Chain A
Amino acid sequence: MKSDAERLGIAADRAGSGAAAPVPVAAKAHARATAGTVVPLDRDDATECAAEAGAVAMRAINLTAGYGDRRVLHGVSIDLHAGEMLAIVGPNGAGKSTLLKILGGALRPWSGTVDLEGRPLTEYDRRAIARRLAMVAQENLVAFRFSVLEIVLMGRAPHLGAFHFETRHDLEIAHAALERFDLIGLARRPIQELSGGERKRVFLARALAQDPHVALLDEPTAFLDLRHVAEIFGRLRELRVERGLAVVATLHDLNAAALHADRVLLMKDGATAGYGTPEEVFTADNLRAVYETEVYVGRNPANGAITVLPADNPRPTR
C-alpha cells in the first residue's frame, strides 16, 4: 500500500544525500569519538535517523545469490521498519543464513539491492556499516582469553580511531550493555569460561555496544533453555521499544517466531514461500508445503499466540 510512497521517499533521500554522504558521517563519528567523555550519544545524523517509529531501516529487493555456480537465493525481498522484528524461518538449507550474510554486507548478491536506512549498502564503507548494523553469528568462538568486558568493548571499535583507547563514554555504554544482559558479575571472566547461554548474551551485549539501528541475529536462541530464550527475546523487545532497534533473526523455533516477530519470512529452497504477519504466514497449508510434514496450527491458550505443533501420526493404528 504505502510502499510506493516510501520508495519515492527513499529516492528523494538518495538524490539529496548523494554518494559523498558517508564521509561527513564518518568524520562526525570520529569527532565524537575524539571529543571525549561528555558528549551525549546522539544518532549519527538526524537526516538518517531510523529510530523514528515506522521509518524504513532496511530493505532488500529481489536478491539472488549463490556460491560458485550454485544458486541458493531466488529473488527474495524484505523490508524492515524501525522497532520491528522480522523472523526468517524455513527448513535447513533454505538460504536463511545466506540471506542474513547479504543483509550484513558479508556476501555480495548476484543481483538485487540492499538498502540500509535509504542508501544502498554498497555506498557505505565497512566501518560506516558497523556503526549502524550489528550482527551476531550462531557460533561465537574467540581465539584468545579476552575478558567479557573486553569483548563487549570491541563493539565500540567502529566508533573509535585506530589509536584511541576507550573513553569513559565507551565504558559507560559497555556497562549499560552488560547490565542489560545481566552480565555485570561476569565482566572480568575470560570468555572461554562461560556457558553457551552466557556467551550468547555477551555477544548480544557486544552488538548492543555497537549502538546499531539494525541487528542481524543468526539463531540467537539455538541450544538455550526455555528461561534464557524468554530472557533474550524479552531484552530484544525492550530494545525495539526503547530505541527503535530493528531486528532480523533466523529462527528454527516457529513458536518463538510467532510469539515475538512482527513479520515472518518463510523460505524454502532459496525462495519466498510466505511473507507477512505470523497469522498470515503460519497456516497449516503453508507449513505443510514447506516442511513436507503434517502440522497442527492453533492458538496458545495462555497468550493467544499462533502455535505450531507436529501432527504426523507415528502410530496410525493406535
Chain B
Amino acid sequence: MSEPAIRRNPSIADAALADFADAHLTRARMAMTLAALGALLIVVSIVAVAFGSVHIDLIRAVMDSSSPDRAILFGARIPRVLMGAIVGAVLAAVGAALQALVRNPLAEGGILGISGGGAFGAIVALVVFSKLGGSDVAIPLCAFAASLLSTLAVYRLAQVDGRLEPFTLLLVGVIFNAFWGAAIMLVNSIVNFFFTHSIIFWLMGSFEAPTYREVLMVTVLGGIGFAVLISRARDMNLLSLGDDEAAELGVEVDAVRRTIFIATSVMIGAAVSVSGIISFVGLIVPHIIRTAIGADHRMLIPASILGGAAFTVAADLIARTVIAPSELPVGAITALCGGPFFIYVLRREGRKSLAL
C-alpha cells in the first residue's frame, strides 16, 4: 500500500525547528528589519530637513508663516528630501530586481545603461517638446520608452546561444552606458545653449529644486512598481536557481521576466525624468542588505526600498553641505562611493556569489 508523502513528523521537536529560525526568513526577522530601516529613514530625513547649505531655524519656520525659513523648509528642503527618498527607493528596488532577473549582483539600472537610455529619452523629449508644450508629460513617457528599449536591447545582446552570460551582460551594459552618454553629448552640442544646464543636470543626477508635482508623479509610478516587484519576490528567489529550475518549480519564467522588465523600466523612466542618472544606489544598497540580512527577495525588495531611500537622502545631504554654499550633484556623491564599491564587489563577491 502507498505511504503518505511526508507525514507530519511528531519526532521533529519544536526546538529543532526553532533552531532553524535564523537560517531562513521569518516574519519576525522581516518585521524587525523593516522597522529598523524605517526608523533609520525617519532619522536621516529629519537630519536632512534640518541641515543644508544655509542655516534655518525650524521653530521659526513652523511658527512664522512669513519667515524665509518657512519658504526654504517647505519650498526647498522638504520636497528635496521627499524626492531623494522616493528616487533612492526606486533605484535600490530596481537594482535588487534586475540582479535577480539576470542572476548577477553587479546589475543595476545605471551600470546596465538603462538610466542612460532614460536620460537620453528625457533630453530628446525636452528639446522636441519645449516649443510644442506638454513636456512635463512627454519627458517621463519618453524616458520610460527609452529605458524599456535599452533594457530589451541589453538583454538581447547579452544572450549567447539562448543563455544569459553574466559578464557579457555587464560588458554590454557598460557599452550602452557609454553610448547613451555620448548620444546625450551629441544632442547637447547641436541644440541651443539654453538646454545645456538641463542636459548636464540629467547626466550628473541631481535633486535640484523639485516640485511637489514631480514628487507625486514618481511616488505614484514608484509605488505601483514596488507593488509589482514585491508580488514577484518569491519568483525572484526561484529565478536565482536558474531559468529552467524556476520553471520546474512552477514559475512562468517569461511572464515574470516581462513583468519585471516593464515595471523596472517604468520606475527608472520616472526617476530619471526628474533626477537624471544617479548611479550605484541600486548596486550598493541591495548588496549591503543581502550581506547583512540574507538573500530572500521577499525581504530584500522592501528593505531595499527603505534602505535606498535613507542612503540617497544621506548622500544628497552630503552633496549639498560638503562644499556649502555651493552644491554637488548627488550623482557625483553616489558615483564616488559606488565606483570603488563596484570594484570591491566584483573582486570579493562576484566570483563567490555567482558560484563560478
Contacts and interface: CB of A to CB of B under 8 A. Distances in A.
Contacts of B186: none
A208 to B, nearest CB: 8
Report which residue of A101, A133, A146, A242 has the largest number of chain B beta carbons within 10 angstroms of its beta carbon: A146
Contacts of B1: 53
B242 A41 contact: no
B9 interface: yes
B103 interface: yes
A162 B231 contact: yes
B234 interface: yes
Given A147-B24, A165-B26, A49 B2 contact: yes
Contact of A172 (B9, B244, B250): B9
A171 B103 CA distance: 26
Interface string B77-106: 000000000000000000000011001110
Report which residue of B12, B27, B244, B355 has the largest number of chain A beta carbons within 10 angstroms of its beta carbon: B355
B4 A43 contact: yes
B242 A137 contact: yes
A176 B22 contact: no
B4 A243 contact: yes
Contacts of A134: 248
Contact of A135 (B3, B20, B25, B245): B245
A126 interface: yes
Contacts of A43: 2, 4-5
Contacts of A126: 247, 250-252
B11 to A, nearest CB: 10
B294 interface: yes
B241 A142 contact: yes
Contacts of B250: 126-131, 157-158
Nearest to A173: B6
A247 interface: no
A166 B169 CA distance: 34
Interface in A144-163: 144-151, 153-155, 157-158, 160, 162-163
A188 B355 CA distance: 17
A243 B290 contact: no
Given A53-B2, A157-B234, A40 B8 contact: yes
Nearest to A189: B23
A147 B23 contact: yes
B354 A211 contact: no
B240 A142 contact: yes
A154 B249 contact: yes
Interface size class of A (residues with CB under 8 A): 35 or more
Nearest to A166: B24
Contacts of B213: none
Interface in A37-78: 38, 40-43, 49, 51-53
A211 B4 CA distance: 10
B288 to A, nearest CB: 13
Contacts, number: 164
Interface residues of B, number: 50
A187 B240 contact: no
Interface in B283-332: 290-291, 294-296, 298
A109 interface: no
A19 to B, nearest CB: 19
A78 B62 CA distance: 79
Contact of B248 (A40, A130, A168, A176): A130
A208 B5 CA distance: 9
A175 B353 contact: no
B25 A150 contact: yes
A137 B39 CA distance: 43
B7 interface: yes
B190 interface: no
Contacts of B353: 143-145, 192
B20 A171 contact: yes
B59 interface: no
A144 B5 CA distance: 30
A244 B3 CA distance: 8
B132 interface: no
A104 interface: yes
A98 interface: no
Interface string B342-356: 000000000011111
Nearest to A177: B6
Contacts of A175: 9, 12, 16-17, 20
A135 B20 CA distance: 25
Contacts of A151: 241
Contact of A145 (B247, B249, B295): B295
Nearest to B22: A188
A247 B195 CA distance: 67
Contact of B2 (A144, A166, A243): A243
A41 B104 contact: no
A208 B6 CA distance: 9
Interface of B: 1-9, 12, 16-17, 20, 22-27, 99-100, 103-105, 231, 234, 237-238, 240-242, 244-245, 247-252, 290-291, 294-296, 298, 352-356
Interface of A: 38, 40-43, 49, 51-53, 82, 101, 104-106, 126-131, 133-135, 137, 140-151, 153-155, 157-158, 160, 162-163, 165-166, 168-169, 171-177, 187-188, 191-192, 208, 210-211, 242-244
Given A82-B2, A145-B290, 13 more contacts: A40-B7, A41-B5, A42-B4, A143-B100, A143-B104, A145-B353, A146-B294, A153-B24, A172-B12, A176-B9, A208-B6, A211-B6, A242-B3
13 contacts: A51-B2, A51-B5, A126-B247, A140-B241, A142-B241, A142-B355, A144-B105, A144-B295, A145-B295, A157-B251, A163-B231, A172-B12, A188-B22
Closest 7 CB pairs of A and B: A127-B250, A130-B250, A51-B2, A143-B103, A188-B23, A144-B295, A158-B250
